[in-house]
Amino acid sequence: NAGVTQTPKFQVLKTGQSMTLQCAQDMNHNSMYWYRQDPGMGLRLIYYSASEGTTDKGEVPNGYNVSRLNKREFSLRLESAAPSQTSVYFCASSEGNRRTGELFFGEGSRLTVL
Amino acid sequence: GDSVTQMEGPVTLSEEAFLTINCTYTATGYPSLFWYVQYPGEGLQLLLKATKADDKGSNKGFEATYRKETTSFHLEKGSVQVSDSAVYFCALSVHDMRFGAGTRLTVKP
């Protein structure tokens, strides 16, 4: 019953460093998402993938890249981290497309950029 | 654009008190409406949903009714427990999922 698994759970970076957040789901879902959660702002969509090999920008894509490696895995990369990217990042998946809801979330990855 | 506004927190209640968390929305088209809950240290999980006007979603003693005339989807529970302490997010889905800012609820014994 793993559901959506994210790694790492915590990471501290210096400005300009790069890193990749990994996400995998075992529910055979088609759609996968990356969100960031900031205080007072709820969750904002960074990128979305409807299927392997396809990705779409969300509300806040600048400074990020993604890769949908296969149906299970969807990674988020920060090429040159900035303090504004300090946040909690959530990966999610859904059976249908983004229109129909229910999202299943991972436990989150807390990133601090110094 | 599509958006959700929910009451600011934090909300602190005593055990067995009545809970209301207000949520209103702005949307083009006909959204589905959701309440998600985030317990400490965890990701969000769906609490309840409603897909059309006048539908009532319910789960774990929580209820919310889709009111098109007032564009609202208020969350209610008749008697809260300490275990209900969490952050609650209202959300809508038309073309994609849009979340409110979240309301932190603390229930004291």
Amino acid at B92: L
Of B41, B43, B100, the CB nearest to A90: B43
User: Closest chain B residue to A6 measured between Cα atoms?
Assistant: B43
pLDDT in tens, chain A (114 residues): 679 999 999 999 999 999 999 999 999 999 999 999 998 888 999 999 998 889 999 999 999 999 998 999 999 999 999 999 999 999 999 987 665 678 999 999 999 999
Instruction: Categorize the per-residue pLDDT at B28 as very low, low, confident or very high, splitting at 50, 70 and 90.
Output: confident
Could you report the per-residue pLDDT of B11-27, keeping only the tens digit for each? 999 999 999 999 999 99
Could you report the per-residue pLDDT of B33-75, keeping only the tens digit for each? 999 999 998 899 999 999 999 999 999 999 999 999 999 999 9
Chain B residues inside the 8 Å CB shell of A24: none
How high is the mean pLDDT of chain B?
94
The DSSP annotation for A19-75 comes to EEEEEEE-S--SEEEEEEEETTTEEEEEEEEEETTEEEE-S--TT-EEEE-SSSBEE
Residue B100 has pLDDT above 70, yes or no: yes
Is the minimum CB–CB distance between A58 and chain B shorter than 8 Å? Answer: yes
